[in-house]
Amino acid sequence: MSRVVTREHVQTRSAASFEERGDIRRTGGPRLTGRPGFLWSVPAVLYFSVFALLPLVFAVYLSFTKYNGIRVAPPVFVGTANWERLFSDPGIAQSIGVTLALVVLAVVTQIPLGVLTGVWAAGRQRWRAVVVALYFIPLLMSTAAVSVLWGSLLDPNFGLPAALPWLFGDGNLLGRQWSAIAVIVFIYLWGASPLYTLIFQGAARGIPAVLYQAAQIDGAGRARQFFSITLPQLRNTIVTTTILIVVGTFTAFDIILILTRGGPSNGTAILPFYMYQQAFISFDLGYGSVIALVLVVLCAIVSLVMVRLTGYDKMDSSQEGI
Amino acid sequence: MNRRKTFLRTSGVAAVAAVALLTSACSGGSGGGANESRPDNELHIAVYGDAAASAEQAAADRFNETSDVKVVVDSLPGDDTYPTAVRTSLGTANAPDIFMSWGAADIQQLVDAGAILPLDDFIAQVPELKSSFLPSVFDGEVIDGVSYGIPMRGVAPTFLFYNKSVLADAGLEPAASWDDLVSQSATLADSGVIPVALAGADKWPTQMWFQYAFARQIGNEQVAKGLAGDAEVWASDGSKKALDDLSGLIGDGAFGATFDSVGYSNQGTTALLSQGKAAYELMGTWNYATLAAADPTFAAEDLGWIAFPSLDGGEGKAGEIAGNLSNYYNVAADTRYPEVARDFLKELYSDDFVKDELALGNLPPTVSAGDFIAADTTIDAQKKEYLTFVFDLVQNAPSFQLSWDQTVPTASKTGLQDAVAGYFNGSLDSAAWITQMQALTAPAGQ
């Protein structure tokens, strides 16, 4: 049996199955085998249309209007004025920069920690289960409560910075852009990485023990086993998790609203927060929609690039031939 | 196939952001006209659901004892989602007949949309709807000579709160002038105390310092002109002097080094002042209740308050104040029962309502409030002293400038908060700040 299933191979096989299906239909009666028809996708398509496409289309419409949220004064068409503003608004460039920075930092912190703790947690000793259970606690807390909690913990006069000046300096963590971003990244890491640990734990447990046994016989140490077996075997999980983190961070909002309010000087105002400010504080829903669409496009581009680069769309099994 | 799915899914997640926009913008109803689509024999009030809502509930209960059309109190969450909730419901079957607002700029768009009932006819029929209230407060929702709101809830000017022990330990008296404030800051900072607690993380407390620096240096009248779009006010020498006054204080460490990480909503400055780590805080009247709740012993023994100090050589009139005038009740243009709404609004200057507000620690914006404070035997001595102080402050003020972020058009609100915060943290110099303010206050269409 070939270890590598080529694309041609797959195509020939599916072509063959079409023919088989054709045979079944010729014999009359309902189709009993084969792939699900369009009908199966109706609930998903309907759901997606109502809750994603429809608002998206409406946001496109709003982006060409002036509307301040008062129903009795319907949106007024203003042409491309909102879109022109996009290119003269220094806030949007800063916001995109902050958003991308936060996304990159979230991925490079959460993935390694998730992989390491997940692989560690995959061990079956009971004490590990206890530690892991404790580690999962942040996952159970509401983000709003967590943000308020960390806000108090990081208060420069009464919180950790006052107790540990050697670590936090003057304690003005939320007063400088990069330390404020670092705080947000840290809280996301603390709050979200248990979820990824859980995913990686499951994935790591799915790696066949026989691989490690073979590697041991070949004299591979633990580090070599981790890099040559565990990581490659987790590849698809890493890609999936990365997409989750990227999309999750792109649409992050709550911590920023509660902890920094986009400050200092909009240094943490990522796109969703910027959109909220424009649409619901300034009541400029036209420009708010423009920002929402920028977010959609940016998110789509990033996920497309990721899918392309990682080969996620092929989704070859990492255990082919085992 | 997989790629397309992933694309659709991820863009779908992002599109959730747009759902909020949709839900807040679904088709509108029609405005105007007494209308049968509104509930029969009910007058709905959207109450801002915080601690002060109890007085409004009580007013509704009293009114309902004699009225055939019943007032129904709908409590909305008391946070910044309130204006959105009101905006999006007006014109629908769930719209309130009466709702609360924060001043002229807040209701301007609603007035433009014809969603608010002008109250001049009501006032012609019942003159007390205007004459019962302090004129400086009532004028807060008069637009182009037309009255749109009746004041309710407390008047909330800002002034200096201080910790008596901290000042006494440093051998200081409460600052009487801006120069005092500057010299005391040095003394206090040397003794390891943050001279002034400032909740910079919330941004709006920072603007209070601008409001007084400018009131003292150029006067509220000029400030009002500047906020109304006179660009020269911001570029004037007086404006630059006010900015220099502020940067002097900041540079001397009057606010400490970490004010941008300190919040008011999480009680950061409350703790600083009550625990003696700071000497002063510039804040609104509500701070008394906040401090008393957080540390009753401190509030009873060590809490002091004074009007904002004067400035030698400034052009502002003595005693000019700034802060929040009040909240107002507005009537929806399409209410089914305008006469009932008018009669209910009379409750807002009734003796019972004034007493209830005083009991909550709010100073009602009625001319009668002073007498009630003096006559009320249920209020303890300190609270009475406090309320009298605030009443006199407002009564004697030659002018009362509404908070800047509530004076400028709604669209400029966050920009203004960012500008004041930016000047304090050094990301904007005075030239950049002036340019920002000119842009933020520029009349529409320029």
Q: What is the pLDDT of residues B280-302, one digit of tens each?
A: 999 999 899 889 888 999 999 99
Q: Is the pLDDT of residue B374 over 90?
A: no
Whether the CB of A242 is below 8 Å from some CB of chain B: the reply is: no
Mean pLDDT value across residues B322-348:
93
Which pLDDT band, with edges at 50, 70 and 90, does A15 fall under?
Answer: very low
Q: Which residues partner with B318 through β-bridges?
A: none
**pLDDT the model gives residue A292:** 94
Give exposure, B263-277, as e/b (b: 16+ Cβ within 10 Å).
bbebbbbbbbbbeeb
| Rounded CA Rg of chain A | 25
Domain with CATH 3.40.190.10 in chain B: 42-154+325-376, 156-323+400-441
Q: Which residue do the tokens 């397309």 mark? A: B4
Are A282 and B257 inside 8 Å of each other by CB? no
**pLDDT the model gives residue A33:** 59
Is residue A282 within 8 A of residue B410, CB to CB? The reply is: yes
**pLDDT the model gives residue A313:** 65
- What does the alpha-carbon distance between residue A56 and residue A42 come to, in Å, rounded to a whole number? 19
| Chain A residue with the nearest C-alpha to that of B278 | A157
Q: Which of helix, strand or coil describes residue B348?
A: helix
Is pLDDT larger for residue B176 or for residue A6?
B176
Which pLDDT band, with edges at 50, 70 and 90, does B9 fall under?
Answer: very low
Q: Is the pLDDT of residue B83 over 50?
A: yes
Are β-strands A65-66 and A76-77 bridged in parallel, bridged antiparallel, or unpaired? antiparallel
Report residue A222 as tokens.
């633990």
**pLDDT the model gives residue A322:** 59
Contact residues on chain B for A290, CB-CB shorter than 8 A? none
- Taking CA A57 as the corner, what is the angle to CA A53 and CA A63, rounded to the nearest 5 degrees? 140
Q: Which residue do the tokens 């507000």 mark? A: B357
Is pLDDT larger for residue B24 or for residue B421?
B421
Mean pLDDT of chain A: 84
CATH 3.40.50.1100 for domain B156-323+400-441: no
Task: HSE, CB side, 13 Å, CA atoms: give it for residue B251.
Answer: 7
What is the residue type of A299?
C
Q: What are A232-265's pLDDT values in tens digits?
A: 999 889 988 998 899 889 888 889 988 888 878 8
**pLDDT the model gives residue B32:** 41
**pLDDT the model gives residue A320:** 57
Write the burial class of residue B222 (CB in 10 Å: 0-12 exposed, 13-18 middle, 19+ buried): buried
Q: What are A182-199's pLDDT values in tens digits?
A: 999 999 999 888 899 999
Dihedral (Cα; A184, A148, B82, B199), 10-degree rounding? -90
A90-310 — its CATH code? 1.10.3720.10
CB atoms within 10 A of CB A119: 20
Is pLDDT larger for residue A5 or for residue B199?
B199
**pLDDT the model gives residue A261:** 86
Are A172 and B422 inside 8 Å of each other by CB? no
Q: Is the pLDDT of residue B221 over 60?
A: yes
Q: Is the pLDDT of residue B13 over 70?
A: no
Are A299 and B11 inside 8 Å of each other by CB? yes
Q: Is the pLDDT of residue B240 over 80?
A: yes
Q: What are B384-396's pLDDT values in tens digits?
A: 899 999 999 998 8
**pLDDT the model gives residue A34:** 63
Are B411 and A67 inside 8 Å of each other by CB? no
Are B410 and A283 inside 8 Å of each other by CB? yes
The least confident of A28-37, A41-50, B7-16, B132-141 is B7-16
Is residue B262 within 8 A of residue B271, CB to CB? The reply is: no
Mean pLDDT of chain B: 87
| Chain A residue with the nearest C-alpha to that of B22 | A55
**pLDDT the model gives residue A269:** 92
| Chain A residue with the nearest C-alpha to that of B423 | A265
The least confident of A189-193, B15-19, B120-124, B330-334 is B15-19
Which pLDDT band, with edges at 50, 70 and 90, does A69 fall under?
Answer: confident
Residue A78 Cα distances to A63, A90, B54, B87, angstroms = 9, 21, 44, 21
Which pLDDT band, with edges at 50, 70 and 90, does A29 fall under?
Answer: low
Contact residues on chain A for B261, CB-CB shorter than 8 A? 154-156, 171-175
Q: Is the pLDDT of residue B350 over 50?
A: yes
Are A155 and B261 inside 8 Å of each other by CB? yes
**Chain B window 53-82: which residues touch A at a Cβ cutoff of 8 Å?**
80
Q: What are A122-134's pLDDT values in tens digits?
A: 887 888 888 888 8
Are β-strands B194-197 and B42-49 bridged in parallel, bridged antiparallel, or unpaired? unpaired
Selecting from A53, A263, A289 the residue whose C-beta is nearest the C-beta of B421 gives A263
**Chain A window 157-186: which residues touch B at a Cβ cutoff of 8 Å?**
157-158, 161, 170-176
Q: Is the pLDDT of residue B445 over 70?
A: no
**pLDDT the model gives residue B11:** 44
Q: Is the pLDDT of residue B98 over 90?
A: yes
Interface test with A, best of B2, B19, B21 (most A CBs within 10 A): B21
Are A158 and B194 inside 8 Å of each other by CB? no
Q: How far is B200 from chain A (nearest CA, A)?
A: 9
**Chain B window 224-283: which residues touch A at a Cβ cutoff of 8 Å?**
257-263, 266, 268, 271-272, 275, 277
**Chain B window 191-210: which residues touch A at a Cβ cutoff of 8 Å?**
194, 200-203
Q: Is the pLDDT of residue A117 over 50?
A: yes
Residue B78 falls in which region: left (phi positive, over 0), alpha (psi -120 to 50) or beta: beta
Report residue A59 as tokens.
């946001």
Q: Is the pLDDT of residue B17 over 70?
A: no
Mean pLDDT value across residues A303-322:
71
Residue A20 Cα distances to A5, A9, A14, angstroms = 21, 17, 10
Selecting from A53, A170, A283 the residue whose C-beta is nearest the C-beta of B258 gives A170
Pick the CATH number of B42-154+325-376 from 3.90.1300.10, 3.30.9.10, 3.40.190.10, 3.40.710.10: 3.40.190.10
Q: What 8-state DSSP symbol labels residue B72?
A: E
Dihedral (Cα; A270, A274, A280, A284), 10-degree rounding? -160
